[in-house]
Chain A
Amino acid sequence: MALYESVFIARQDLSQTQAESLIGKFEKIIKDNGGKVANHEYWGLRTLAYLIKKNKKGHYAMLNIDAPVNAVQEMERQMRFDEDVLRFISIKVDELSKEPSIMMHQRNKEAQIAAEFGVDLEKKEVKNEA
């Protein structure tokens, strides 16, 4: 079996749970065709560098796949049918990284900053009340 990294972009008007259910759907296709998904990542709603089918933003997700070719082909075929998927790419890799990808680092950083900011805002509110 070969190793793949598959990234897809879903429509902007989906909710986060809908986007994550899409990950589950494609994961199931891989499993049904004799492969396995080692890991998956949801990168969140990101701004696209250019419009794709009139979408300014998109839900990004990545699947780390260990599967035979026909399983990946079947998943790509299903992605082509799916109206919610704007774009996808499957890249053959030598090894799957076990650590979270650079996108997750960025997301964590943003979350941290937001958390810090939230704390600051709370302090300000407290001050205002006093």
Chain B
Amino acid sequence: MKPSREAMQKVPMSQVRPFYRPRRTCPFSGKNPQTIDYRDVKTLSRYVTERGRIMPRRITFVSLAAQRKLAQAIKRARFLALMPYIEK
């Protein structure tokens, strides 16, 4: 959460972190997680590149457990021709 302006002013300048941004967290774990479903092409397509390759975890910040499930779901969706294997 972004601190309010007043709160920022009370903190001494040496402690203000102007470039601080909370770390992005995994949408499939933690509080109210999204479900991973091989039929949900809309969600799955956010985790593949334009060419249809599965995106690495270091870019998407998906947790390891979720990444495994996600990869499985994408592969199932590909097999059922809901998603492409490659997109030129």
Chain A residues contacting B39 (CB-CB under 8 Å) are 101-103
Say yes or no: A58 contacts B81, CB within 8 Å.
Answer: yes
Chain A residues contacting B78 (CB-CB under 8 Å) are 49
Q: Interface extent on A, as a size class?
A: 10 to 19
Determine if B50 is an interface residue (Cβ-Cβ < 8 Å): no
Interface residues in B35-88 by Cβ distance below 8 A to A read: 37-40, 76, 78-85
Say yes or no: B79 contacts A89, CB within 8 Å.
Answer: yes
Interface residues in A73-130 by Cβ distance below 8 A to B read: 87, 89, 91, 101-103
Determine if A52 is an interface residue (Cβ-Cβ < 8 Å): yes
Grouping DSSP codes into helix (H, G, I), strand (E, B) and loop, the B interface class, with mixed when no group exceeds half, is loop
Bound Cα distance from A103 to B80, whole angstroms = 13
Interface residues in A57-74 by Cβ distance below 8 A to B read: 58, 60
Distance from A101 Cβ to chain B, minimum over Cβ atoms (Å): 6
Say yes or no: A89 contacts B80, CB within 8 Å.
Answer: yes
Say yes or no: A102 contacts B37, CB within 8 Å.
Answer: yes
Select which of B40, B79, B80, B85 is within 8 A of A102 by beta carbon: B40
Interface size of B in residues (CB-CB distance below 8 Å): 13
Select which of B37, B38, B76, B85 is within 8 A of A50 by beta carbon: B85
Say yes or no: B79 contacts A49, CB within 8 Å.
Answer: no
Say yes or no: B80 contacts A91, CB within 8 Å.
Answer: no
Determine if A29 is an interface residue (Cβ-Cβ < 8 Å): no
Select which of B76, B81, B84, B85 is within 8 A of A91 by beta carbon: B76
Say yes or no: B80 contacts A87, CB within 8 Å.
Answer: yes
Say yes or no: B40 contacts A50, CB within 8 Å.
Answer: no
Q: Can you list 10 residue pairs at the A/B interface with Cβ under 8 Å?
A: A7-B80, A48-B81, A50-B81, A50-B84, A50-B85, A87-B79, A87-B81, A91-B76, A101-B39, A102-B39
